[in-house]
């Protein structure tokens, strides 16, 4: 049977049907969106440096009829644009925002295909190229329907920089990018089964995250005379090992918690005991009280373990992000939109045990976050892996999900507008 124009069969067939529907019904040339996605992938830019990325996106929007002077700029390289209907008003006034993140990761890509990153230390290994392409495709369709949309209905395109640790979402909110918005939505390609849409009915979609830096101060000396110095590397190693007892011995297995050390820095030569050493990491939890308990135990370790090795430890917390919280009503609407398009079996309660600074936006206004799965039997490459590449089959169903959501929230039908 057909569900909103898509014949139900295998997931792969549904997604191919979604692409065909975008062309036949909405006249969207997907090859243009695909070429944009590949160009963005090939020319990645890290947080707050997305200058060329922004130029390309604005150029595409301008080709759809967007008035560049009406674009609002936020967070150094971020921007928004309101697509406002021009037809007679209908029902209550409403503004819905869709966010796409823009930044790449500071890492080297190991893929060798034609659209692999040309830069040695920047790569779209988290799918933000696909997220941007999805929102551009959605904008193309909405701009062509603008003259038929009610004048009291607005869709805000939100292009956000620096999601990868730069807290671009927070900066966008603080600078007013969400002012006037009633609801906000975002999506993320993630390592759940291909064809599944992870949308929790309510509550946390991601983890809270706290970043920590640990500095160990010792006393440098010649490598041949370690007894003269106070070795900070030994103290750092002991501290590192002790940190990994927090979760196994100090936190209940019933609670979700992850504590990861991601960087260690010490020394400049193999015959020098350095003066200091450092490491940094993250704490991820669902509950503030568990986060606080981990921090308490971490601080005790950093205070006392180095002391036993004649060193001093210090811990600081340079940043944190809340969890993305799906609001009940908005999550229900999004789940219904996806279910109507692709069937109830496409829905899952999957979240992700990572953080995402869309959380600052759902802290500001009600909204929902959706994961779309990319894991296939012959290709299971997780985000942040140097061989990651966005599966473009996910773009058409994502665009349709946004359009169907708008139909539900605006109380209208694009079928009627297309006549």
Q: Identify whether 92 is a catalytic site residue.
A: no
* Paired tokens of 342: 């692709």
Cα–Cα distance, 322 to 66 (Å, whole number):
34
* Paired tokens of 84: 């406002």
- Burial (CB count <10 Å: 0-12, 13-18, 19+), residue 209: buried
Q: Identify whether 164 is a catalytic site residue.
A: yes
Tokens 């971490």 locate to 298
Active-site option among 164, 182, 231, 392: 164
Cα–Cα distance, 166 to 50 (Å, whole number):
12
DSSP secondary structure of 238-268: HHHHHHTTHHHHHS-TTS-EEEEEEEEEE-S
Cα–Cα distance, 219 to 222 (Å, whole number):
10
Cα–Cα distance, 242 to 258 (Å, whole number):
14
Closest-CA residue to 373 (of 200, 204, 197): 197
SS3 86: coil
Q: Parallel, antiparallel, or unpaired: how do β-strands 78-84 and 94-101 relate?
A: unpaired
Cα–Cα distance, 380 to 382 (Å, whole number):
6
Cα–Cα distance, 147 to 127 (Å, whole number):
32
Beta-carbon count within 10 A of 222 CB: 11
Cα–Cα distance, 31 to 396 (Å, whole number):
11
Chain centroid to Cα 68, Å, comes to 26
Active-site option among 45, 101, 231, 357: 101
* Paired tokens of 188: 């993320």
Closest-CA residue to 369 (of 188, 165, 152): 188
CA atoms within 13 A on the CB side of 85: 23
φ and ψ of 329, to 5 deg: -65, -45
Q: Which residues are catalytic?
A: 101, 164
């Amino acid at each position: 049977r057909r569900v909103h124009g898509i014949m139900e069969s295998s997931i792969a067939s549904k997604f191919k049907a979604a692409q065909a529907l975008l062309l036949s019904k909405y006249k969207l040339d997907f090859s243009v969106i695909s070429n944009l996605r590949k160009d963005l992938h090939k020319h990645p830019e890290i947080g707050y440096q997305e200058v060329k990325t922004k130029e390309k996106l604005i150029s595409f929007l301008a080709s759809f009829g967007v008035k560049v002077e009406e674009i609002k700029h936020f967070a150094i390289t971020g921007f928004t644009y309101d697509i406002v209907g021009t037809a007679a008003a209908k029902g209550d006034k409403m503004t819905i925002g869709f966010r796409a993140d823009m930044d790449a990761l500071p890492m080297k890509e190991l893929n060798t295909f034609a659209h692999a990153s040309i830069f040695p230390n920047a790569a779209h290994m988290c799918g933000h190229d696909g997220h941007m392409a999805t929102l551009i495709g959605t904008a193309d369709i909405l701009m062509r329907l603008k003259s038929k949309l009610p004048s009291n209905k607005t869709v805000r395109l939100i292009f956000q920089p620096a999601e990868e640790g730069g807290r671009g979402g927070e900066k966008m909110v603080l600078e007013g990018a969400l002012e006037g918005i009633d609801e906000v939505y975002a999506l993320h390609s993630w390592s759940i089964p291909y064809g599944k849409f992870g949308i929790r009915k309510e509550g946390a979609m991601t983890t809270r995250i706290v970043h920590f830096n640990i500095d160990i101060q010792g006393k440098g000396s010649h490598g041949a005379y370690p007894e003269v110095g106070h070795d900070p590397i030994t103290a750092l190693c002991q501290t590192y090992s002790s940190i990994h007892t927090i979760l196994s011995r100090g936190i209940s297995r019933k609670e979700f918690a992850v504590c990861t050390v991601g960087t260690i820095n010490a020394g400049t030569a193999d015959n020098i005991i350095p003066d200091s050493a450092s490491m940094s990491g993250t704490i991820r939890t669902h509950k503030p009280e568990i986060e606080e308990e981990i921090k308490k135990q971490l601080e005790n370790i950093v205070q006392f373990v180095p002391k036993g090795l004649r060193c001093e430890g210090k811990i600081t917390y340079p940043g944190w992000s809340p969890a993305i919280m799906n609001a009940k009503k908005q999550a229900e609407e999004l789940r219904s939109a996806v279910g109507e398009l692709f069937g109830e079996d496409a829905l899952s309660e999957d979240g992700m045990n990572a953080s995402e600074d869309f959380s600052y936006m759902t802290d500001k206004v009600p909204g929902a976050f959706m994961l779309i799965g990319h894991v296939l039997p012959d290709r299971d490459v997780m985000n942040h892996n140097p061989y990651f590449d966005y599966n473009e089959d996910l773009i058409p169903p994502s665009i349709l999900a946004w359009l169907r959501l708008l139909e539900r929230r605006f109380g209208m039908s694009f079928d009627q507008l297309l006549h």
